[in-house]
Amino acid sequence: MSTQEPITQEPPAPKVPVHLAIIMDGNGRWAKQQGLPRTKGHERGAESVRVAIRTCRKLGIRYLTVYAFSVENWARPKAEVDALMDLLKRFLRKEEQELHDNKVRLRAIGRLSDLPKSVRRELNRVMHATEHYKEGNLILALSYGGRTEIAAAAREIARKAKAGELDPDKVDESTVSTHLYAPDIPDPDLLIRTSGEMRISNFLLWQISYAELYVTDILWPDFREEQLIKAVEEYGRRHRRFGLSE
Ligand code: FPP
C-alpha cells in the first residue's frame, strides 16, 4: 500500500458562460395570472433584470444581453409601447447606481434611432457614465431584430464594396461579424428563454450559432437568482462540441 499522502486537489472551477443572453418572456402571462394589467408584469420583469445583473456579477458572467424590446414590439398597442418606454427610462434612472456599485458597463444594440428622444437621452447618459467599466457588461437589445441587424451589416458591406473599400471576393464570416451592432462582444455561450416557448424570435440570429439553449417554463417576473443559478449550473454540465465529433 502506498504511504503517500493523497493528493488534495482543488475542485475544478465551475464552468460559467462568458456571455449570457436572455429572451425575457412571460411578463403578460404573469400579470394575467395575478389579475393585474400587463404593465405590472413588465414592472416586475424589470426587477428580474436587476436581479440578473447582480447574479451575473456574482457568478463572474462578463456579458449579459437582454431582449428588452424587439422591432416587432412596436406593433403592440400604443399604451403598452408607451408604458414600456416609460419603464425603460425609469429603469435607466433607477439602476444607474446599481451599475456603478457593480462596476457594470451599459451598452445597447438595435435600431436605437427608433427610440423616443427622451429614452435615447437617458440611455446615452448612462452608457457614457459607465463606459469605463470592463468586467461587467449589460447589453440592452432595444428595437432589436436579428434580421434587421444582418441586413444592416449587408448594406454597409455592399456600400464599402461599391466604394472600393473592400473586395467582395474577400467577404467572409468575420467580415459579417465585424459589421454587426457590437462586433467586439463575444458570441453568447448560453441563451435562456423563459415561459416555455421553443422559439428564437429573431434574437441574435448570427451570434447564437453555437450557443447552448435553455428553456424554462418559469415566467420572466419569477425568474430570479435561484433560477438563474440553476440554468448556469446546467450549462456547466453541458459538453459543447462546436460541430466537432466527440
Ligand atoms: C415579453 O413579455 C417581454 C417584453 C416584450 C419586454 C421585456 C421587458 C421587460 C422585461 C421589462 C423592461 C426591461 C427593462 C430592461 C427595463 P410578454 O409581454 O411578451 O409576455 P407574454 O408573452 O406573457 O404576453
Sequence-ordered list of residues with C-beta below 8 angstroms from that of 242, at least 6 positions apart, any chain = 210
Give the list of residues 6+ apart from residue 240 with CB closer than 8 angstroms, or none: 189, 210, 212
List the domain range (segments joined by +) for residue 132. Answer: 19-145+187-235
Q: What is the overall mean pLDDT for the chain? A: 94
Residue 192 falls within a domain, yes or no?
yes
Encode pLDDT of 190-243 as tens digits: 999 999 999 999 999 999 999 999 999 999 999 999 999 999 999 999 977 777
pLDDT at 241: 73
How far, in Å, is the centroid of ligand 1 from the Cα of 45?
Answer: 7
Asked, for residue 176, whether it belongs to a domain, the answer is no
pLDDT digits (tens, 9 = 90+) for 69-103: 999 999 999 999 999 999 999 999 999 999 999 99
Tens digit of each residue's pLDDT (9 = 90 or more) over 30-43: 999 999 999 999 99
Residues facing 136 on adjacent strands: 104
Q: What is the CATH number of the domain that holds 122?
A: 3.40.1180.10
Does the annotation mark 202 as catalytic? no
Which of the four pLDDT bands, split at 50, 70 and 90, describes residue 8?
low
Cα–Cα distance for residue pair 189/240, rounded to 1 Å: 9
Contacts made by residues 239-245, CB under 8 angstroms, sequence distance 24+: 240/189, 240/210, 240/212, 242/210, 243/210
Q: To test the ligand 1 pocket, which listed residue (34, 39, 42) has its Cβ within 8 A of the most ligand atoms?
A: 42
| pLDDT score for 244 | 77
Residue 169 maps to a domain: no
User: Is 244 a member of any domain?
Assistant: no
- 184 catalytic per annotation: no
**Ligand 1: centre distance to CA 162 (Å):** 40
- pLDDT per position as a tens digit, 107-131: 999 999 999 999 999 999 999 999 9
**Quick check: is 44 in a domain?**
yes
Check whether 13 has a pLDDT greater than 70.
no
> What's the domain count of the chain?
1
Cα 115 to averaged position of ligand 1 atoms, centre (Å): 16
Is 170 among the domain residues? Answer: no
